[in-house]
Structure 1
Amino acid sequence: MNPMRRRLLAWVAITSSSILSCNLYADDTESHAANTKPASVVQPGAKLKMIGESYKFTEGPTADNDGNVYFTDQPNDRIVRYDAKSGELADWLSPCGRSNGLFFVAPNQLIACADANNEMWSINLNDKSHMVLVDSVDGRRFGGPNDCWVDTDGTIYFTDPLYKRPYWKHTIPSDNPRGVYRLSPDGKLSQVVDDLVQPNGIIGDSENRQLWIADIGDKKTYRYDIAEDGSLTNRKLFCDMGSDGMALDQERNLYLTGGAGVTVFDEKGNKLETIAVPKGWTANVTFGGEGHRELFITAKEAVYTIPTRVSGLR
């Protein structure tokens, strides 16, 4: 055989072998990647546990530093406390302004969306007294503050949709503007979002300066950057799902609520899993218990818990 031809055939054989090896390696890598799923946020083997069902419609859970959870039973005008150590539930405050969303501010303050008179409250945990922080904007009543988040400097962000209540003795026009507001520590109120159909759930990350707001009326959740002056910038669509309430964990996974239960998304907006809740509607969620590693879920007349492998964002 011609020496040149022999060298050419040898080169072809080596090249073909290399290409085949690369393809096999690529196929194996792709197969491995396809079969690798993120770890569940739920502790291995953990099951959903109903801890109470004597309510009419549960909402607004928030946890204190010890993991005790405060939540609302809005139609019955009461705030209920879940003791993290004993697991006992007991009425804590009634009446409570028909509070909806709550947020704990250390060491002894609850911020409450008090829906009876369309107000934002500050409730003292020690003596249970309250102070009205704000009740109107530009001379008109709010539509009904619904959910809130408090930044580390005490700035309050809250959503103001409109869900007409049968217990209102006043009238809120159907065309009342829907919005998201910022209440600064010195009491200055400003509107930070005005272009959502029905803003509802809200949660923030004070360390990374980000805020998530659910537009439940448009089945969307958006992520915003919190600017130095407290305004919201760089709106980005996070996922095509709205939410009644929401929570964040230490891995920056976002927990949204609705008809299926609690749906979890990673920090990039990829759906990880859904924790099914058998009540037809899950209203809100937070982290409580020891180390804040217990997901606390409000769902219509019931409340549930389930242990998680990752703690809630504090």
Structure 2
Amino acid sequence: MKIPLLLIFVFLTISCNQQSKKTISDDAEIKKVSDGFSFTEGPTSDKVGNLYFTDQPNNRIYKYDIAGNLSIFSDRSGRSNGLYIDDKQNLWACADGKNQLWKYSLDGEKEIVLNPSGEVNFNGPNDVWVHQNGNLYFTDPIYQRPYWVNEHDTVGPQSIFLLKNGNPILLDSTLMQANGVVGNSKENLLFVADIGANKTYRYKINIEGELESKTLFIEKGSDGMTLDANGNLYLTGEGIDIYDRDGHFLQHIDIPEKWTANVCFGGENFEYLFITASKSLYRVKTNVNSVR
């Protein structure tokens, strides 16, 4: 039986379109950059493309530069988890062991911005993103770490907060356990993963920096997250799942570790996706790059 040429053409067109939407080619190499860590987290890149990430149990922030050199940026990081470098090249660190947010210059000078006295009972700031206008958003779930010096015995809203003019503002009290957060400054969008409810939400950021127009983006939670320049969202956990700007599934990327904690774009041309996964750091070349 002969298959009509029109059907062959339609099949090939659909197949090509599906391939063209993939942000990571099927034959792209998942390269292990470094290993031997206890638990990697919080990747972020500076304006050059140098990568910074944490090894939380070992209380360290590492730098992996565009030349391929690995060095220790800080060995007293407050057990930092999520990191983010803002447009002014400040490195923000969720020092959850201290219940604080720290701001580093890239030459290593540190300022405690959130809860400098240590008296406020946060659960443990986990992930952070900074709008180009300077407004900072952070999540505050509770994960009692075995290496914390003191127990965080007061559990408040495990939600998303806005840090504005030094004051934390609770934005959505309905979230069960917020974790990953990432945004798009130009479109004034914020994505928050409620890992406790296994959902990820999209919000519109209003002129005051607060959140409105909450919509369910996808019935799936995430640890860390990132966005690319096409509006695709990358969720982590058991590997990486990528969704387009409308929430349609694009592809899954297997990572050879038990848990994939977080992702970000970096490298000289921001064409590599860096992946913090359990005891290792990976990277893979993509067909896109990042968005701020």
Residue 285 of structure 1: aligned partner: 263
Residue 172 of structure 1: aligned partner: 152
Structure 1 segments unaligned to the other structure (5+ residues): 1-23
Aligned sequence identity (%): 41
Residue 117 of structure 1: aligned partner: 98
| Per-residue CA distance 1:252-309 (angstroms, 9 max, x = gap) | 00001001x1110000001100111010210000000022100000000000000111
Asked whether the equivalents of residues 38 and 272 of structure 1 are also in contact (C-alpha less than 8 Å), the reply is no
- Residue 155 in structure 1 maps to residue 135 in structure 2: yes
Distance 1:239 1:143 in 2: 26
- Residue 132 in structure 1 maps to residue 112 in structure 2: yes
Normalised by the size of structure 2, how large is the TM-score? 0.92
| Cα offset, 1:43, TM superposition | 4.6
| Per-residue CA distance 1:1-52 (angstroms, 9 max, x = gap) | xxxxxxxxxxxxxxxxxxxxxxx99978875665441522125742100010
Residue 245 of structure 2: aligned partner: 267
| Per-residue CA distance 1:225-256 (angstroms, 9 max, x = gap) | 00111110011111111110001001000001
Higher Cα Rg: structure 1 or 2? Answer: 1
Specify the code of the residue in structure 2 equivalent to 1:206.
S
Out of 73, 83, 86, which is 2:55 matched to? 73
Distance 1:44 1:216 in 2: 28
Specify the code of the residue in structure 1 equivalent to 2:121.
R
Specify the code of the residue in structure 2 equivalent to 1:147.
D
Out of 214, 222, 244, which is 2:223 matched to? 244
* Stretch deviating more after TM superposition (105-114 or 237-246): 105-114
Distance 1:176 1:74 in 2: 22
- Residue 95 in structure 1 maps to residue 97 in structure 2: no
| Cα offset, 1:148, TM superposition | 0.5
Instruction: Please give the root-mean-square deviation of Cα atoms over the aligned residues, in Å.
Output: 2.2
Question: Does the residue aligned with 2:171 lie in a helix, a strand or coil?
Answer: strand
| Per-residue CA distance 1:73-118 (angstroms, 9 max, x = gap) | 000000000111x212111111111111000023431011001111
Question: Does the residue aligned with 1:292 lie in a helix, a strand or coil?
Answer: coil
Asked whether the equivalents of residues 189 and 202 of structure 2 are also in contact (C-alpha less than 8 Å), the reply is yes
Out of 175, 198, 210, which is 1:219 matched to? 198
- Residue 46 in structure 1 maps to residue 28 in structure 2: yes
Specify the code of the residue in structure 2 equivalent to 1:310.
V
Report runs of 4+ in structure 1 exceeding 4 Å deviation: 24-34
Normalised by the size of structure 1, how large is the TM-score? 0.86
Specify the code of the residue in structure 2 equivalent to 1:47.
E
Distance 2:154 2:251 in 1: 37
Distance 1:146 1:211 in 2: 16
Question: Does the residue aligned with 2:269 lie in a helix, a strand or coil?
Answer: helix
Specify the code of the residue in structure 1 equivalent to 2:89.
N
Specify the code of the residue in structure 2 equivalent to 1:78.
R
